[in-house]
Structure 1
Amino acid sequence: MKIALIAEHADPLPAHRGEPACPASLHACSLSRQLAKRGHRITVYSRRSDPDQPTGRTRMSRGVSVTYLDAGPSRVLKADEQAQHTGEFGTALAEALDEDTPDVLHAVEWTSGLAALHAQAHSGRDQSGVPLVQTFHSLNASEQRAGLPEQPERARMEAVLASRADHVLVGSTDQQVELSRLGLPRHHMSVVPFGVDPDHFSIEGSSASEPWNSRREERTRLVSITALSEGGGAENLVQAMVHMPECELVLVSTAEDRDVALDSDARRLEIMAKEAGVDGRVHLTGPMERKELPRLLRSADLYVSAASYDPYGGGVLEAMACGLPVVATATGAVPEAVLHRTSGVLMRFGRPEEVVRAVRTVLNTPTMSTAYGIAGGDRARSRFPWARIAIETELAYEQARPVRSEGRGDEDEHDDLALSGSSR
């Protein structure tokens, strides 16, 4: 099967090279490689975000190639800019699909879905027989419930995409419930979670000695891979450290800028830690190379997350695969990964006092901590390996095919709506 994986703002090559990458890029990279191992041919279409990115089709791995399309400035766009050039990206995509028509279109996130609809409408060939599968890792409706900003236009476009796609993939039952509220039938969507590479993230292997304090025998080590901005939960973790003098914490930033010295959020957290008197036990690092993350995770005693919203749950899965017990806020995709009081402890809000209570509940009972680590590792390896995620995605492709042949009404109205959104 020829698959066009549309990932407008998720370049898979950095993740393929083992460099720090956003979850969407990691998803595009890992899924495409696993689908290729199953005999499919995948072309990933991404927007050119760097003038040095190659032109034409670039081979990423066996069966997988990447094509960068010119749309807007050749730089990484801010979140509020990402939809501005989707119409241009969709036009370029239409030309690319005319040259190499796939068997299935798979759009990752909402702007990619708009681009796919745009491409189908502007294609020089009849693309009506090519099914469209849409992946949502997050929905604005879910983000609003977590206290994040409302984006009315995006929410409207997500509803349109859900109704137009031949099959919808969501990362958690939370997203499934949101789409059901919009009237999307359950048989029209599947829950396919984010994945983990259990060969890379595993219990066996070496551990890191840096950036931990040398007083290893005196302190329990906590680690969190999170956004340092508000909503990532880092502030709550720093405040919790005031009441856990026996612990030290490493915060690994997920920001695209590797230099934490230039990160205003990092500076704010460092000042907070210093004022609270815990700066000697709180360490901030920039995004880490993929090869280094397992070593850091294996060197810790507990993974902790106080994020107000986590639509991917990637850090949690990687920690579980490395045998760490987990304490995390029950939000987004996290409840899909962590079974409460089986592989870790879920918190309701992730407030500092909750963090202290949950961490001590786990660490003060060594038998429980060990059991959580073992159960988490087993669950990560059995439910969330990318190989399984690829199989479940492949099944969605098959489900999408007969739906397309039946057709749906009001397509012109939806096309006009989608294209008007992509030009905003």
Structure 2
Amino acid sequence: MKIALIAEHANPLPAHRGEPACPASLHACALSRQLAKRGHRVTVYARRSDPDQPTGRTRMARGVSVTYLDAGPSRVLQADEQAQHTGEFGTALAGALDEDTPDVLHAVGWTSGLAALHAQAHSDRDQSGIPLVQTFHSLNASEQRAGLPEQPERVRMEAVLASRADHVIVGSTDQQGELARLRVPRHHVSVVPFGVDPDHFTVEGGAATEPWNTRREERTRLVSVTALHEAGGAERLVEAVAHMPETELLLVSNAEDRDVALDSDARRLEILAKELGVDDRVHLTGPVERKEVPRLLRSADLYVSAASYDPYGGGVLEAMACGLPVVATATGAVPEAVLHRTSGVLMRFGRPEEVVRAVRTVLNTPTMSTAYGIAAVDRARSRFPWSRIAIETELAYERARPSDSNTADEDDDSDDLALSGSLH
């Protein structure tokens, strides 16, 4: 099968090279490689975000290639800019698909879905029979329930895309429920979670000695791989450490290509740690190479997350695969990953006092901590390996075939106008 994986704002090549990468880029990289191992030919289409990115088709791995399309400035776009050049990206995509027509279109993210529909409408060839699978890593409706800003236009476009796609993939049952509230039938939606590489993230192997203090003083070590902005929950973790003198915390930024020394959020956290008198027990580091992440995780006693919303759950899964018990906010994809009081403890809000209580609940009972770690490894390796995620994605492609799809009415002009207006 020839698969066009449309990931407008994700760049899989850094993840393939083992460089720091955002979750969307990790997903595009890992999924495409696993699909290729299953005998498919995958082309990832992404927007050119750097003038040094190669032109034409670039081979990433056996059976996988990446094509960068010019649309807007050759730089990484801010979140509020990402939809501005989708029409241009869709036009470029139409030309690329005319040259190499796939068997299935798989759009990852709502702007990628708009670009795919735009490409189908503006293609020189009739591509109406090519099934479109739409993946939503996150839905704004879910984000709003977590207290994040409302984006009315995005909500409207996500509803249109969910009805127009031949099949929809979401990362959690929470998002499946949100689509059901938008009257998207459950049989039209598959829950396929984020994955983990169990060969890379393992219990066996060395542990990092830095950036921990060389004199441990019997402190319990907590680690979190998270965004350093407010929604990432890092501030709440720093405040929790102030009430746990027996602990030290390592915060690893999951930003892509961002120097922590120039990060305003990092500066804010460092100032907070100093004000609370815990700057000697709170360590911040910028994005790290993928090969170093397991060593950092294995150097800790517990993985902790107080994020307001985590649609991927990637950091939690990687920690579980390395044998760490988990304390995390029950939000986004996390409840699918962590079984409460089996592989860790889920918190309702992730407030500092909740973090303190949950961490002490786990660590004050060594047998419980050990049992959680064992269960975490088993769950990560059995439910979430990327090889299984590829198989489940394959099944979604099968469900999207014309004979099984629930296509939208051809005379639904209102949706056509909505899409047209969003791309101009």
Q: What's the secondary structure of 2:53's corresponding residue?
A: coil
Distance 1:361 1:140 in 2: 33
The answer as to whether partners of 1:166 and 1:403 remain within 8 angstroms in 2 is no
CA distance 1:89–1:411, change in 2 (3 Å): farther
Shift of 1:415: 2.8
Distance 2:54 2:413 in 1: 36
Aligned residue for 2:376? 376
Give the AA of the match of 2:178: E
Shift of 1:420: 1.3
The answer as to whether partners of 1:45 and 1:67 remain within 8 angstroms in 2 is yes
Matched, 1:140 2:140: yes
Where does 1:97-246 land on structure 2 (aligned, <5 Å)?
97-246=97-246
Shift of 1:413: 3.6
The Cα offsets for residues 124-167 of structure 1, whole Å up to 9 and x where unpaired, read as 00001100000001000000000000000011000000000000
Distance 1:279 1:261 in 2: 16
Matched, 1:417 2:414: no
Shift of 1:255: 2.0
Where does 1:61-80 land on structure 2 (aligned, <5 Å)?
61-80=61-80
Distance 1:420 1:20 in 2: 36
Q: What's the secondary structure of 1:216's corresponding residue?
A: coil
Unmatched 5+ residue regions in structure 2?
none
Shift of 1:256: 2.5
Give the AA of the match of 2:347: M
Give the AA of the match of 2:353: E
Distance 2:408 2:309 in 1: 35
Distance 2:234 2:222 in 1: 12
Shift of 1:411: 4.8
Distance 1:262 1:16 in 2: 26
TM-score after normalising by structure 2 = 0.98
The answer as to whether partners of 2:167 and 2:188 remain within 8 angstroms in 1 is yes
- Give the CA RMSD over aligned residues: 1.0
Aligned residue for 1:363? 363
Q: What's the secondary structure of 1:315's corresponding residue?
A: helix
Shift of 1:421: 1.1
Where does 1:6-405 land on structure 2 (aligned, <5 Å)?
6-403=6-403
Distance 1:412 1:96 in 2: 27
The answer as to whether partners of 1:118 and 1:415 remain within 8 angstroms in 2 is no
Shift of 1:325: 0.2
Shift of 1:349: 0.2
The answer as to whether partners of 1:303 and 1:327 remain within 8 angstroms in 2 is yes
Give the AA of the match of 1:172: S
Unmatched 5+ residue regions in structure 1?
none
The answer as to whether partners of 2:163 and 2:408 remain within 8 angstroms in 1 is no
Shift of 1:407: 4.2
CA distance 1:24–1:405, change in 2 (3 Å): closer
CA distance 1:184–1:406, change in 2 (3 Å): closer
Give the AA of the match of 1:173: T
The Cα offsets for residues 46-98 of structure 1, whole Å up to 9 and x where unpaired, read as 00000000000000000000000000000000000000000000000000000
Distance 1:419 1:316 in 2: 39
Shift of 1:257: 3.9
The answer as to whether partners of 1:121 and 1:415 remain within 8 angstroms in 2 is no
Q: What's the secondary structure of 1:376's corresponding residue?
A: helix
Q: What's the secondary structure of 1:238's corresponding residue?
A: helix
Give the AA of the match of 2:357: R
CA distance 1:56–1:257, change in 2 (3 Å): closer
The answer as to whether partners of 2:166 and 2:406 remain within 8 angstroms in 1 is no
Shift of 1:408: 3.0
Q: What's the secondary structure of 1:300's corresponding residue?
A: coil
Shift of 1:404: 6.9
Shift of 1:218: 1.4
Shift of 1:291: 0.3
Give the AA of the match of 2:291: K
The answer as to whether partners of 2:164 and 2:407 remain within 8 angstroms in 1 is no
The answer as to whether partners of 1:41 and 1:64 remain within 8 angstroms in 2 is yes
Q: What's the secondary structure of 2:141's corresponding residue?
A: helix
The Cα offsets for residues 96-133 of structure 1, whole Å up to 9 and x where unpaired, read as 00011000000000000000000000000000110000
Shift of 1:403: 4.8
Shift of 1:406: 6.6
CA distance 1:157–1:360, change in 2 (3 Å): same
Shift of 1:204: 0.6
Distance 2:328 2:93 in 1: 39
How many pairs align? 423
Distance 1:162 1:417 in 2: 13
The answer as to whether partners of 1:345 and 1:358 remain within 8 angstroms in 2 is yes
The answer as to whether partners of 2:44 and 2:67 remain within 8 angstroms in 1 is yes
Give the AA of the match of 2:422: G
Shift of 1:412: 4.4
Give the AA of the match of 2:366: P
TM-score after normalising by structure 1 = 0.98
